[in-house]
């Protein structure tokens, strides 16, 4: 697996569905995790929609940056595995800006989880 700047394992996610969460261009996503070193080998794990808290708790993933590339209608984003702590899924992408991407999306997702 490739690693990102802080040594965490990087994967790619093929987004199969977008869910509009609120105004301002924020989206939560559903997709398939792809082995970055072997893109033809699909890992048998799908990202889940925000709000499915029981299933979300089974994952431990975090997106670290914005859109990597778009191909054939799919949006690709980088994520990495978090270590330890409370295992939860944080998935999302902004379809307009990437500055402070990770921190904005974590904040948005945490706000939604509190509601």
Q: Which residues, 6 or more positions from 36, have their beta carbon under 8 angstroms from its beta carbon?
A: 1, 2, 10, 11, 12
Q: What is the DSSP letter of 9?
A: B
Share of the chain above pLDDT 70, in %: 0
What does the pLDDT read at residue 113?
Answer: 52
Average pLDDT over the chain reads 37
Q: What would the pLDDT profile of 32-55 be if each residue is shown by its tens digit?
A: 444 444 443 333 333 333 333 333
Please tell me the distance from the alpha carbon of residue 29 to that of residue 57, in angstroms, as a whole number: 16
Its pTM surpasses 0.85: no
- pLDDT above 50 for 74: no
For the chain, the structural domain boundaries read 10-114
Residue 111: what pLDDT? 54
């Amino acid at each position: 697996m490739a690693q990102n700047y802080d040594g965490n394992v990087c994967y790619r996610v093929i987004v199969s569905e977008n869910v509009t969460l609120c105004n301002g261009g924020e989206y939560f996503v559903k997709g398939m995790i792809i082995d970055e070193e072997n893109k033809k080998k699909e890992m048998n794990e799908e990202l889940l929609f925000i709000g499915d808290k029981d299933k979300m708790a089974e994952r431990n993933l975090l997106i670290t940056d914005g859109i990597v590339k778009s191909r054939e209608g799919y949006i690709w984003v980088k994520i990495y595995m978090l270590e330890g702590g409370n295992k939860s899924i944080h998935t999302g992408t902004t379809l307009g800006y990437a500055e402070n991407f990770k921190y904005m999306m974590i904040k948005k997702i945490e706000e939604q989880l509190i509601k």
